[in-house]
Chains A and B, each alone.
Chain A
């Protein structure tokens, strides 16, 4: 069986996010109600399960091929792209003015999740179109918008983001690609970039590269970086594709996973004939990049959710079919009957469910920031999103790796064999903790920018919200365990993370454990809230809602203590990191 959207989970969690963030009160969203959300989820599932999922393994096995500057995508990619484009999915959450559908994020999020689960390697272009369009919308001149946006939103052309260079990865300030001003106001682009997803491919007529480069008199470091729109083919007056713009793909990477997505090395301006146009102001390229980055990090967190769900579906099915060992009565049983296998499946189930809830809540918060007139509500939502972004990105992707490992463990020896397809999930997940900012980068962002620079405001508000929910809930083990963890977290903030005397190098050494603790506590909080809602709705569907309560119990017993252990690590004064000499 290939992927099927977890329809019921999605429907219910979308509804919960919609209600929690009170999206029903926003006038601009009146046309985008839950009925529409359900209709769209339903149709997207048909596409994800019917078209994208069957290609996932094809992409993994075949990979992309590179020859003589050309990239050939795997069998079926091109057709699937045409279908995806013609069905209008690329413009899902992009403005109607440029041919999009302008859907709110809370509806786009479950749709994106389905794409990510069913074929992550394939749909990388969709996030690039979304992010690229948002950059152009916010920063580009009307002329550039007119030239590119409709083409991108409708999927006629794709977007590539050219940031990384061999010596400028996480440290973008070190990049050296040049942009030399020309008399006509354009720039000549010259340099080498690597790790460019869909930087070259055979699915669309033109590729719009958004390139970070340095003008000759720009200040050193990250303050001297500007952003340029550089199309593969120059655009004629009438909007058609014209002359080749001196952009060459020099190779694609052989990667651990995501084989179907071409990761390109690109050479710009080998013949001094690569023309780019400035997006926004000079030397403010990184600012534009941050818009994309936040978006990309949230989308990356959803990749964690999507891959965890895929791993769960595969492992669950296998565990019901594989007969091995005996139950208490001596009869041979399917392995799902073994408590330890059930434990692993519940790891997958509880974590993906909680993270999905968190991801949908964040999407609904983005809708508040984009659609609400209430300034205070917008500010509060912005702060909450800023705080949750590194937690969601870091934790969801770390978990996806761990959970893919659990799923393989459920398969036993067959999990180590490629033909079952479960190993692909692990290999595809591996990059998610690395790209769009490693977990280490996320943890530093969390500790320093989002907590210390903020003087603990946003995180205090988050803890207060958790405590309000705990206070409203009946006293049970789930809430008791969560309450203890929240108290411990508050204490760690006081004594360590927010302490004015904190040793910053020490903090960096425990930042990832701290991020993991935050992630675990946020997930336990989601499940505790959901369990309370489930209790209220139990009469409607005893099995589903009873299961939600069981998930909250499971999580608070098995996973929350791991978060608390990580908090203990954060406060240990002698941890050996400083002392050891490599």
Chain B
């Protein structure tokens, strides 16, 4: 069974995010970039499936600029067998990405797709769900446990107030939550080997996908600076403040 994993290049979570002075976007120039942490969990899960003999091949796919090759190489250093980059300057909005994945899923006859539940930059949480709809395949989102059994996969999902386990017929789409696994460190020899693993570059047109712009980014603003706290003298005072100042009750 082939497993497809999504890999998105995003701002490194250690970096302090800055907004461009004209408020048009986040300032990404000269910023350290990394694999989206949820995607890293997806890669780890796919590799574990391969190590367990369940997956035969792990294919890492990214939609983004040519710089995303760096993150695909990282995925291959972690253990993905090969990579596909769908090169696009600005077409990485969720529906376009989902359409590209749907095509690759079909072309590669993939048994399981594992994606991060969302990326830490745009926080959309959409691609997995859209991909399931486009391909009419079952989805198990926010996975904290994945167990493939023959022609189906059991996915334990983190939902409000507990866990829900669903059994999906393969091919299926799984999106990862934070507690699914703890990604490994890449080994030095594997980083070297990753350089020689195949990385194929395609465009939306190659896949027969028309990348349309559905979303327009109007404005980005930094969150308001946090105000200092105050000590309240009594519960009554607290309630009064919540009513009058915070206006939350």
Residues of A with Cβ closer than 8 Å to B?
4, 7-8, 31, 35-36, 38-40, 42-43, 46-47, 50-51, 83, 86-89, 91-92, 101, 540-541, 544
Does residue B77 face the partner (Cβ distance < 8 Å to A)?
yes
Nearest-neighbour CB distance to chain B for A119, whole angstroms, equals 15
- Are A540 and B30 touching (Cβ within 8 A)? yes
- Are B77 and A544 touching (Cβ within 8 A)? no
Q: Tell me the B180-237 residues at the A interface (CB within 8 Å).
A: 185-192, 194-195
In the complex, which residues of chain B have a beta carbon less than 8 angstroms from the beta carbon of A47?
Answer: 185
- Are B32 and A43 touching (Cβ within 8 A)? no
Least CB separation from A1: chain B residue: B14
How far, in whole Å, are A91 and B29 apart by their CA atoms in the complex? 35
In the complex, which residues of chain B have a beta carbon less than 8 angstroms from the beta carbon of A544?
Answer: 30
A-B CB contact pairs (8 Å), 26 listed? A4-B14, A7-B32, A8-B30, A36-B192, A39-B70, A39-B73, A39-B74, A40-B191, A42-B34, A42-B74, A43-B77, A43-B191, A46-B186, A50-B185, A86-B187, A87-B185, A87-B187, A87-B188, A88-B188, A91-B188, A92-B188, A101-B189, A540-B29, A541-B29, A541-B30, A544-B30
In the complex, which residues of chain A have a beta carbon less than 8 angstroms from the beta carbon of B194?
Answer: 39
In the complex, which residues of chain B have a beta carbon less than 8 angstroms from the beta carbon of A83?
Answer: 185
In the complex, which residues of chain B have a beta carbon less than 8 angstroms from the beta carbon of A43?
Answer: 74, 77, 185-186, 188, 191
Contact check: which of B32, B185, B188 meets A40 at CB < 8 Å? B188
Least CB separation from A31: chain B residue: B195
In the complex, which residues of chain A have a beta carbon less than 8 angstroms from the beta carbon of B191?
Answer: 36, 39-40, 43
Nearest-neighbour CB distance to chain A for B119, whole angstroms, equals 19
Nearest-neighbour CB distance to chain B for A33, whole angstroms, equals 9
Residues of B with Cβ closer than 8 Å to A?
14, 29-30, 32, 34, 70, 73-74, 77, 185-192, 194-195
In the complex, which residues of chain A have a beta carbon less than 8 angstroms from the beta carbon of B188?
Answer: 40, 43, 87-89, 91-92, 101
The 9 closest A-B pairs by CB, nearest first: A88-B188, A541-B30, A87-B187, A43-B186, A88-B189, A88-B187, A47-B185, A7-B32, A101-B188
How far, in whole Å, are A541 and B189 apart by their CA atoms in the complex? 33
The listed residue with most B CB atoms (<10 A of its CB), out of A38, A46, A541, is A46
Question: Known: A4-B14, A540-B30. Contact between A101 and B185, CB under 8 A?
Answer: no
Chain A interface, DSSP helix/strand/loop, else mixed: helix
Least CB separation from A545: chain B residue: B30
How far, in whole Å, are A344 and B30 apart by their CA atoms in the complex? 27
How far, in whole Å, are A51 and B185 apart by their CA atoms in the complex? 10
Nearest-neighbour CB distance to chain B for A41, whole angstroms, equals 10
How far, in whole Å, are A51 and B188 apart by their CA atoms in the complex? 15
Least CB separation from A46: chain B residue: B185
How far, in whole Å, are A456 and B188 apart by their CA atoms in the complex? 42
How far, in whole Å, are A156 and B202 apart by their CA atoms in the complex? 44
In the complex, which residues of chain B have a beta carbon less than 8 angstroms from the beta carbon of A91?
Answer: 188
How far, in whole Å, are A92 and B190 apart by their CA atoms in the complex? 12
- Are A36 and B77 touching (Cβ within 8 A)? no
- Are B192 and A101 touching (Cβ within 8 A)? yes
How far, in whole Å, are A336 and B29 apart by their CA atoms in the complex? 26
Least CB separation from B29: chain A residue: A541
In the complex, which residues of chain B have a beta carbon less than 8 angstroms from the beta carbon of A39?
Answer: 70, 73-74, 77, 191, 194
In the complex, which residues of chain B have a beta carbon less than 8 angstroms from the beta carbon of A51?
Answer: 185
How far, in whole Å, are A86 and B184 apart by their CA atoms in the complex? 12
In the complex, which residues of chain A have a beta carbon less than 8 angstroms from the beta carbon of B29?
Answer: 540-541
Least CB separation from B195: chain A residue: A36
How far, in whole Å, are A50 and B30 apart by their CA atoms in the complex? 23
Least CB separation from B69: chain A residue: A35
How far, in whole Å, are A256 and B159 apart by their CA atoms in the complex? 52
How far, in whole Å, are A269 and B14 apart by their CA atoms in the complex? 52
In the complex, which residues of chain A have a beta carbon less than 8 angstroms from the beta carbon of B34?
Answer: 42
How far, in whole Å, are A563 and B213 apart by their CA atoms in the complex? 60
Known pairs A86-B187, A91-B188. 10 more at Cβ < 8 A? A8-B30, A35-B70, A39-B194, A42-B34, A43-B185, A51-B185, A87-B186, A88-B188, A101-B188, A101-B189
Least CB separation from A47: chain B residue: B185
In the complex, which residues of chain B have a beta carbon less than 8 angstroms from the beta carbon of A89?
Answer: 188
How far, in whole Å, are A295 and B232 apart by their CA atoms in the complex? 62
Nearest-neighbour CB distance to chain A for B44, whole angstroms, equals 13
How far, in whole Å, are A331 and B9 apart by their CA atoms in the complex? 41
In the complex, which residues of chain A have a beta carbon less than 8 angstroms from the beta carbon of B189?
Answer: 88, 101
How far, in whole Å, are A89 and B77 apart by their CA atoms in the complex? 14
How far, in whole Å, are A544 and B27 apart by their CA atoms in the complex? 14
In the complex, which residues of chain A have a beta carbon less than 8 angstroms from the beta carbon of B195?
Answer: 31, 36
Nearest-neighbour CB distance to chain B for A197, whole angstroms, equals 23
In the complex, which residues of chain B have a beta carbon less than 8 angstroms from the beta carbon of A7?
Answer: 32
Nearest-neighbour CB distance to chain B for A84, whole angstroms, equals 10
In the complex, which residues of chain B have a beta carbon less than 8 angstroms from the beta carbon of A88?
Answer: 187-190
How far, in whole Å, are A101 and B194 apart by their CA atoms in the complex? 13
Nearest-neighbour CB distance to chain B for A150, whole angstroms, equals 14
Nearest-neighbour CB distance to chain A for B72, whole angstroms, equals 11
How far, in whole Å, are A47 and B189 apart by their CA atoms in the complex? 15
Nearest-neighbour CB distance to chain B for A562, whole angstroms, equals 33
In the complex, which residues of chain A have a beta carbon less than 8 angstroms from the beta carbon of B70?
Answer: 35, 38-39
In the complex, which residues of chain B have a beta carbon less than 8 angstroms from the beta carbon of A36?
Answer: 191-192, 195
How far, in whole Å, are A89 and B190 apart by their CA atoms in the complex? 11
In the complex, which residues of chain B have a beta carbon less than 8 angstroms from the beta carbon of A8?
Answer: 30, 32
How far, in whole Å, are A89 and B74 apart by their CA atoms in the complex? 17
Nearest-neighbour CB distance to chain A for B2, whole angstroms, equals 25
How far, in whole Å, are A38 and B186 apart by their CA atoms in the complex? 14
In the complex, which residues of chain A have a beta carbon less than 8 angstroms from the beta carbon of B190?
Answer: 88
How far, in whole Å, are A7 and B187 apart by their CA atoms in the complex? 19
